[in-house]
Amino acid sequence: MVCRCGKKTYYIRKYEGIELCKKCFVKSVEKKIKRNIRKNKLLSKNDKICVALSGGKDSISCLYILNEIVKKREDMKIFAIAIDEGIGEYRKKTLNKAKEFCEMMNIPLKLYSFKEEFAKNLPEIIKNEKLNACTYCGVLRRYLLNKKARENKATKLAFGFNLNDEAESIFLNFIFGNLDKFLRLGPKVENKEIKKFVPRIKPLREIPEEEIFAYCDALNLPYYPKKRCPYGKESVRKTIRKFLYGLEEKYPGSLFQIVKFADLLIPSLRKEFYKKGKIKYCKICGEPSSRKICKVCELLANSEMTRLHKRI
């Protein structure tokens, strides 16, 4: 089988029922990303974009495509931030890929660590805690990324979340009944009332994970190939990920439908809940919440992390 241009097939896109050669595939993925950026106004004039870089395929392709856009614009700047949680060999290897890529592309990279910022690395933090590692890791990493992006005067904080990630988040919040977090999903998360919040953007949100792998391989982008974090096996997200993979395999296009449905719901739900004053702002961290103290702060309240949290 061949691509519509006549060249050899590189990728079969089941949800569209088409086959694409390498060149047409790359072009098509980039077209979809740029359309998402335009449609949802992810970028604006004079933006200084900070990309959260882990060294995995998603953040590497996100940085690559945004850098391609910024290169053609005189008013925009770009840099990357990587966080070292201190998860031994795994993080060392992913960070090496991040450094290698930034050097290759001549993009400034800023590196921060849990150890320097919170006085402890992740294994030390979770030593006597009941909750799983990912809960602390996610909360603290997001917190640091926002803080460091702001300190470096970024106007946008870009994440390499793909279509699968977004569908997983929708399911996760649905299963745990977390309306606050559900209402914060979408291609762009901003809160003009909270000055310290750097608007977050997700340029790859409409690209399935499988296509990100194929995109990196087509362009020979260096990335750390596997999610081998020793704590990864604990996460509920992993169970949902497996389920969604199976669903997409059997019914191509399911992931798009899930995200599309959430996109239809979220704007009206936001209006409804903001109007009735159900969404307030957390007294401790300032994030939107239906209660005075958000779940994140509540989570940290009874642990040793309170001391660390107050420092930041």
Choosing among ligand SF4, Zn ion, none, which partner's interface includes residue 138 (Cβ < 5 to 8 Å by kind)?
ligand SF4
Residue 19 Cβ vs Zn ion, minimum distance, rounded to whole Å = 9
Does 98 contact ligand SF4 by CB under 6 A?
no
Does 231 contact ligand SF4 by CB under 6 A?
yes
Whether 173 and 131 have beta carbons less than 8 Å apart is answered as no
Residue 231 Cβ vs ligand SF4, minimum distance, rounded to whole Å = 4
Count other C-beta atoms under 10 Å from residue 272's C-beta: 12
Distance CA 25, CA 19 (A): 9
Which of positions 137-166 make contact with ligand SF4 (CB under 6 A)?
137-138
Token digits of residue 15: 């949800």
Residue 138 Cβ vs ligand SF4, minimum distance, rounded to whole Å = 5
Residue 111 Cβ vs ligand SF4, minimum distance, rounded to whole Å = 16
Whether 156 and 47 have beta carbons less than 8 Å apart is answered as yes
Does 259 contact ligand SF4 by CB under 6 A?
no
Residues 182-221: x/- map of binding to ligand SF4 (CB under 6 A)?
Answer: ----------------------------------------
Residue 118 Cβ vs Zn ion, minimum distance, rounded to whole Å = 17
Whether 159 and 201 have beta carbons less than 8 Å apart is answered as yes
Whether 11 and 26 have beta carbons less than 8 Å apart is answered as no
Let me know how long the chain is.
312
What number of chain residues touch Zn ion (CB under 5 A)? 10
Distance in Å from the first CA to the final CA of the chain: 57
Residue 251 Cβ vs ligand SF4, minimum distance, rounded to whole Å = 28
Distance CA 8, CA 20 (A): 8
Distance CA 102, CA 79 (A): 9
What number of chain residues touch ligand SF4 (CB under 6 A)? 8
Q: Read off φ and ψ for residue 38, nearest 5 degrees.
A: -70, -50
Choosing among Zn ion, ligand SF4, none, which partner's interface includes residue 125 (Cβ < 5 to 8 Å by kind)?
none
How far from chain centre, in Å, is Cα 196?
A: 19
Between 229 and 297, CB nearer to ligand SF4? 229
Does 70 contact ligand SF4 by CB under 6 A?
no
Whether 155 and 48 have beta carbons less than 8 Å apart is answered as yes
List contacts with ligand SF4 (CB under 6 A): 87, 133-134, 137-138, 229, 231-232
List contacts with Zn ion (CB under 5 A): 3, 5, 7, 21, 24, 282, 284-285, 294, 297
